[in-house]
Structure 1
Amino acid sequence: MRVAMIGSGYVGLVSGACFADFGHHVVCVDKDPGKIDRLHQGVMPIYEPGLEQLVASNVKAGRLSFTTDLAEGIAGAEAIFIAVGTPSRRGDGHADLSYVHAAAREIAANLTNYAVIVTKSTVPVGTGDEVERIMAEANPHAEFAVVSNPEFLREGAAIGDFKRPDRIVVGCENDRARAVMAELYRPLFLNQSPLLFVGRRTAELTKYAANAFLATKITFINEMADLCEAAGANVQDVARGIGLDNRIGSKFLHAGPGYGGSCFPKDTLALVKTAQDFGTPVRIVETVAAVNGQRKRAMAKKVVTAAGGDVRGKRVAVLGLTFKPNTDDMRDSPAIDIIQALQDGGAEIRAYDPEGHEQAAMVLTNVHYATDPYDALEGADVAVLVTEWDAFRALDMDRVKALLKSPVMVDLRNVYDPAEMARRGIAYTSIGR
């Protein structure tokens, strides 16, 4: 099949490359000429394990190409995906749909054959209806159907998630569109990945509901961690104890400094606003968003306490900047709030992240970026492990202790064993233990 992907960011590029790997012919379109030029040179706009090789192999095979010309990109396409950004709108927290609407208008103006217009971007309930209206108004003679096909990709594991999904959710309103989507995903369906056809509004809401539920699990175990600390319990054992219950499950029950990233913060907020618009407020999700926001700054207080109650004039080594490992994404990373709060307290920050320095420099100021973990730790009064990259999971603790000005470490991901750290003479603080 011929496929066009409007938007060559995280979702569009990964999805386009994976569809091409299935044998479809994919054109990725983006308005940023610099991004398209870099893609032509084989330079990825994001860090995602395996993506560079996947793109290169499919470009070489002639199944994947890139352009800034939307008319050229959608010519003859049977499925046209809208995979543009939907950031939180400034001022009110609603999803900003201006990029989606602009894409819909431009697609309609250049559509010359029947095509299924697939909303891949995360959008509020009813967006498909609006896209359909906008396109019909922009080109009354265009033949098309609008479908919702939300993505469920985890950054750092996106290729595997796309090729081996838990489920594929497709929201459509007619049989012709359904047939196109079934053929598009046929390679996965043959591997028995559940292909779930639902109504378009149902698909749109499913994405928000999934992210809100996972954000709730994270926030729940974080609050249990606080209770464990106060009560003398171990949150990791609590998480195992409840996670072995099949009704609950073990995933997303790892206590930490709060969730971040491109999805959970904006999607929980957008769901809250959508529910308010429909007159059915989602109080649990409202609380989740509020608690998560407070937690990130609270982690800085944990560091200050470990440093003796004051960080003014002290050097803090921060290990990990991105919101999770195996990505360079800094969006709503807990590290941002933690570092800014420590800087407000007068701390000097030395940081190291395997992939995040370039993106971090866009949102943080007065941070010295180290060349490796040990460079960050040298001469620091306290070390803080914020993101659980593999590079931080087996640090030489004797070397760490020797490099630190004082042997103090705050582990916000519970990577290390408290008893082992005590044996090595390191003052160690973790989460919920």
Structure 2
Amino acid sequence: MIDETHDATRRSWVASAQGSDFPIQNLPLGVFSPTGGPPRGGVAIGDQILDLAQAAASGLLSGEALAAAQAASGATLNPLLALGAAPRRALRRRLFELLSDGAQDQARVAAWLHPAADCTLHLPCAIGDYTDFYAGIHHALNVGRQFRPDNPLLPNYKHVPIGYHGRASSVRVSGAPVRRPNGQQKAPDVEAPVFGPARRLDLELELGVWIGPGNVLGEPVPIGEAEAHIAGLCLLNDWSARDLQAWEYQPLGPFLAKNFMTTVSPWIITAEALAPFRTAQAKRPEGDPTPLPYLMDEADQATGAYALQLGVLIRTPAMRQAGIAAHRLGQGPATNLYWTMAQLVTHHTVGGCDLRPGDLLGSGTISTPDDSGLGSLLELTRGGKEPITLPNGETRTFLEDGDELILAGRAVAEGFVSIGFGPCTGVVAPAPQA
């Protein structure tokens, strides 16, 4: 729904909002702690965070906007996400009004703002369940060609959204250190596995989907209603230990190779903020199967994708010490997904599984068909066979201790103000002693 909150001519009296990831047209939701204070819900505006607990107590909000602010005043946003889109939209419209140039009560609202640099950011929700999908068609093809050059995709890929249940307990917010995992590895040329730190540590560039109201156990979400259960998106790095994965994943799939850490960006970029950046789902190539009826909706095909530019950057310890900026490994569009987010939600629930407010879905690694925007080092280095060279002459096949990975995302559409996701970062720490 496009409304006045997407007006490209509107500016905020918060000067830092203009040109930032968080202009007044964004207003993402998160959880923060001001200096010396407990966690509470907030909204990013420029380099400031608006305190929703203070907003709720101010008397300047009413009706659904007040209900939304009250639901977001605690240490998690689960109560707010449970309310659905209408209160969230009402809060957005009221904050847009209060933060716009020329707004009344500017002095009162300014007292709700905290410099983001002085705050600690937390996971926005208590995540009950986390599911990771495999919807990036080019990633699936690129990886599949390394193992099955003549038949990279398994027969089910184009018929059913592939996914696995991840580990919610190890999801962390951007900036948390990434401890290299220990585990079993078996090289093809040895008879028995060995135990030790993963040597082929990798990233995965994904989008995260935050679930809103959810559904009752046994009652699937129809494809035409799935959008109502998507509260917003974030960036997601599903760190992967490729050597552990190669040994353990058959026959039941990922386990220790994935469960040690998943990093998400701290802000929920709401479905309302993303409305101008909806675009048509890429048409399937000639000869590909049409999705089964429960996964097919014409409206979803017309607007179910997102016009987002996603990127991956790396900065090694030596680069940091020398003051060298992070090096971009690649950049590409989020439209390189074979399935829409609504299709993922519907398929997740079609057997009766219940999704709950604050649950998290991963899209799967998003890559380009060429080398310009590959979402993993596994693809970029051809399984470690072709090292990449960094600006200072260092080379990498997989991640080394001290390396910093940065995911970036920005929504761009003609006629609208571009909005960003904020950083999704992690620095690799050495494995614990076994």
Q: Answer yes or no: same fold by TM over 0.5.
A: no
Q: Which has the higher contact order (CA 8 A, sep 6+)?
A: 2
TM-score normalised by length of structure 1: 0.25
Larger strand fraction of residues: 2
